[in-house]
Structure 1
Amino acid sequence: MGLMGTIWHRIPLSPAMLYLPIGFLLGPSGVSLVALDPYRNAALLTLLTEIALLISLFTVGLKLRVPLRDRIWRLPMRLGVIGMLVTSVLIACVAYFLLGLSLGVAALLGAILSPTDPVLASDVQIKDVGDRDRLRFSLSGEGGLNDGTAYPVVMFALFLLGVPEGRAYGEPTAILLALWGIVGGFLCGWLMARGTVGLALFLRRRYHQALGMEEFLTIGLIAVSYGVAHLIHGVGFIAVFAAGVAMRRIEHQASGPTQPSQVIGAVPAGDEPAVATDPDKAPAYMAETVLGFNQQLEHIAEFVMVLLMGIMLSAAGLSMQGVLLAVVVFLVVRPLAVLASLLGARVDRAQRWLMAWFGIRGIGSLYYLVFALQYEWPMAEKQRVVSLVLTAVTVSVLLHGISATPLMDNYHRRGKPRA
């Protein structure tokens, strides 16, 4: 990928479309170089996908350079909450009535496939910091939110399957628990970022301390936000997304409408400490340095996750029912969910159709799949869900990977409306 990077950007394919078949060939259906049992190794796979998802969520939040009071935030909020719930319910209905799954397994399948993931087709997500295009902003924000908002739904499905850990989500107070998880998680991440970043900037501006080591600042902030959110029973994924948004908000408040790259200007070699401690440039320099590091982590995480997905698919095998499910999800469920969540919203017709198409499934679905495999429920049902989910995600990687570049190029040629 290092040697092909320039060429890869010129062709209408996503990197995931290369990683996936390589993983498949490495697995049991190929050369059998890697044997990975997702059932016995569910805890390890959950940890790996969890880390990858946290990196992705923080990166997405750090790209959204728009105040929370701005009306454009209503679009990802609608898609990330209402759209996720509608998607989960509709997929569960398809699984129950058409695929013959039990109610609990159908609900779990709906919850697993409800999160979207714009990272696997980067052409549809925010390109430049401060991009206010409704389509890009909505899909990026939705992907940042619904990985967290899906958590209560997954736990409710586990309750239906008789898993003790999901019992609290089957009680009358479940709605309050879910609401607190979302709101508490967001507030936790926001406050942790405000405090941590504010302290680092204070030390840099006043004492010329806490310089460099943005890598540790990034990983530390992600870990602390996620951990503290869990301690207060908030949703950790939302906390990490909020931490990224909060760090960007601190930069935006300091820089104003000027783009951070313009605020920083050219930085001669060796002058980084002077820029990092400059009262006017310090917030922009920190945010952009952290974003650059996190994007590199994101590339590596995407590679590892899609490779693992290909290896797991090689062992589980493609499912024709999974292909059918993917077609129904992308052509029926996703458009209905977008229609329901955007009722009354001021969205251009082309943007609405593209939002309906780009309901990309990826790392979020993989995480909730292996997360659910940690618990005790019938093995035969586990195997069927694994095959269905991996097949549906594979179809998404292929269809959305091929269509992202030409559709987005056409969208930009026709002149996209602005927020």
Structure 2
Amino acid sequence: MLDAAEPYALILAAFGVVVLLTAWLPLLLKRMPISLPMVCIGIGAVLAWSPFAPVVGMNPLENRYLTEKLTEFVVIVSLMGAGLKLDRPLSLAGWQTSWRLLGISMPLTIAGIVFLGWSILGLGIASALLLGAALAPTDPVLASDIQVGPPQSGEEDEVRFALTSEAGLNDGAAFPFVHLAIAIALSQASGEPFFADWFLVDVIWKIAAGIAIGWLGGKTMGYLTFRLPKRAGLSETRDGFVALGVTCLAYGSTELLHGYGFLAVFVAAVALRSVERKHHYHENLHNFAEQIERLLMMVLLVCFGAAIGEGAVFGALSWQVVITAVLILIAIRPLSGWVGLAGYAAPAAEKGVIAFFGIRGLGSFYYLAFALGQADFERPELLWVTVCFVVLSSIIAHGMLVTPVMNKMDRSLRQPTP
């Protein structure tokens, strides 16, 4: 008979295993065509059939609010880490690939997914738009294998920079489209007009507030960290958890003022770097953010894998969903990325890598969970199964290809030009 303390002991044991694997697995998988997220999902599926099933058996998709908040937190921590490790100063010319992917490729991706949702899945405009907005952004959490290295590591070629900056920016840029889907769904129920309010509030105000608060907050924290007299600056503490404080402060204050917190966090990280670009303390901040991000990612993906193992996720899977997912990953995103980079002076192979590796992940779960809590959308179970299958397919396909493709690209970059 189970002791009353045994569930708690099981939780501690399972969490201990996850923590140890968080530190150990990246070392083992470094040169293998297997990614950490793939292993996490596999662990979850195995645990679903083990004595640990009560510990990990909670299906995150059955608790919308919990899914929303957990994925929200891991995404904002990831956005801070992404911004901190970018060595390149912010500029129109230096960030040209970022602006192209953000302003051209992402809207094209959303439009393509909306068409697939309407034509293949039979969704109405609100649900199809929500599907497009949720699946368009490149995920900052699961894309770590194709991002730039730690601050001042020198691992910042154009491909890695483009994918890192895109992941940091488009999580905030997707929100207006999510809110547009919500506004349409609410308007369909009430008959009230929505466009003017959506454009003024959800586009103009929230984007402006996210950028302004993030930039001001990042600059202020940069001053407190690097510009105060010696022994008074935060950099003297050498504590990496300051990054978590900056993340939560930037996100929370922006959300209180009804701005886009995701955008504010990434902008704050970039602004913080700009105050003192070469200080060694940036590495402490980045390392802490990366460790927290990796641990939270593993926990969530283990739960996702357990839900898959139980059969709770893909009960409504159909051939229409499979075709939609395949077209999103091998046609919609690559073509949209290629169009966005048309005319950009870079080798075709590099543009192809940037266009293809639009990894989908935990951010998509967040957008869907958030929107479903704001309005009634038709066929929410179809939205969930489609997003889950696209994310799983992206984790497997991109996870298998990222190591060999990036290794080949690195070798070509090291070869001297004739």
Shorter-normalised TM range: 0.7 to 0.9
Alpha-carbon distance, 1:53 to partner: 0.2
Quote the Cα distance in structure 1 between the aligned partners of 2:150 and 2:49.
41
Quote the Cα distance in structure 1 between the aligned partners of 2:51 and 2:139.
27
Q: Which residue of 2 aligns with 1:393?
A: 391
Quote the Cα distance in structure 2 between the aligned partners of 1:214 and 1:227.
21
Conservation of the 8 A alpha-carbon contact between 1:23 and 1:310: yes
Q: Which residue of 2 aligns with 1:236?
A: 261
**Which of 32, 36, 41 lines up with 1:11 in the alignment?**
32
Note if 1:161 corresponds to 2:156: no
**Which of 151, 159, 183 lines up with 1:129 in the alignment?**
151
Relative to structure 1, is the Cα distance of residues 30 and 209 closer, same or farther in structure 2, using a 3 angstrom cutoff? closer
**Which of 275, 294, 298 lines up with 1:303 in the alignment?**
298
Gaps of 5+ in 1: 256-283
Quote the Cα distance in structure 1 between the aligned partners of 2:187 and 2:53.
34
Conservation of the 8 A alpha-carbon contact between 2:235 and 2:281: no
Alpha-carbon distance, 1:288 to partner: 1.6
Conservation of the 8 A alpha-carbon contact between 2:222 and 2:272: yes
Alpha-carbon distance, 1:8 to partner: 2.0
Quote the Cα distance in structure 1 between the aligned partners of 2:263 and 2:192.
20
Deviations 1:43-101 (A, max 9, x none): 12211111100010000000111111262312112212322211111101011012211
- Written as runs of structure 1 = structure 2, the 5 A alignment for 1:212-231 is 212=237, 214-231=239-256
Q: Residue type of the partner of 1:171?
A: F
Q: For 1:346, what is the secondary structure of its paired residue?
A: coil
- Written as runs of structure 1 = structure 2, the 5 A alignment for 1:160-179 is 160-162=184-186, 170-177=194-201, 178-179=203-204
Quote the Cα distance in structure 1 between the aligned partners of 2:402 and 2:339.
23
- Written as runs of structure 1 = structure 2, the 5 A alignment for 1:394-413 is 394-413=392-411
Note if 1:321 corresponds to 2:320: yes
Alpha-carbon distance, 1:35 to partner: 4.0
Q: Which residue of 2 aligns with 1:49?
A: 71
Conservation of the 8 A alpha-carbon contact between 1:322 and 1:389: no
Conservation of the 8 A alpha-carbon contact between 1:65 and 1:245: no
Relative to structure 1, is the Cα distance of residues 346 and 156 closer, same or farther in structure 2, using a 3 angstrom cutoff? same
Conservation of the 8 A alpha-carbon contact between 2:67 and 2:365: no
Would you say how many aligned residue pairs link Structure 1 and Structure 2? 387
Q: Residue type of the partner of 2:34?
A: L
- Written as runs of structure 1 = structure 2, the 5 A alignment for 1:299-378 is 299-313=294-308, 314-317=311-314, 319=317, 320-377=319-376
Relative to structure 1, is the Cα distance of residues 202 and 415 closer, same or farther in structure 2, using a 3 angstrom cutoff? closer
Deviations 1:157-209 (A, max 9, x none): 11222279999993225334313322321221111011123123344526477
How big is the alpha-carbon RMSD for the aligned residues of Structure 1 and Structure 2?
Answer: 2.9
Aligned residues with identical type, % of pairs: 34
Relative to structure 1, is the Cα distance of residues 239 and 415 closer, same or farther in structure 2, using a 3 angstrom cutoff? same
Note if 1:288 corresponds to 2:283: yes
Q: Which residue of 2 aligns with 1:90?
A: 112
Conservation of the 8 A alpha-carbon contact between 1:133 and 1:416: no
Q: Which residue of 2 aligns with 1:382?
A: 380
Gaps of 5+ in 2: 1-20
| TM-score normalized with structure 2 length | 0.84
| Stretch of structure 1 that moved more, 157-166 or 294-303 | 157-166
**Which of 23, 29, 32 lines up with 2:44 in the alignment?**
23
Q: Residue type of the partner of 2:89?
A: P
Quote the Cα distance in structure 2 between the aligned partners of 1:19 and 1:111.
26
**Which of 208, 223, 248 lines up with 2:273 in the alignment?**
248
| TM-score normalized with structure 1 length | 0.84
Conservation of the 8 A alpha-carbon contact between 2:218 and 2:272: yes
Conservation of the 8 A alpha-carbon contact between 1:64 and 1:137: yes
Conservation of the 8 A alpha-carbon contact between 1:123 and 1:404: yes
Quote the Cα distance in structure 2 between the aligned partners of 1:300 and 1:39.
20
Relative to structure 1, is the Cα distance of residues 390 and 355 closer, same or farther in structure 2, using a 3 angstrom cutoff? same
Quote the Cα distance in structure 1 between the aligned partners of 2:280 and 2:124.
53
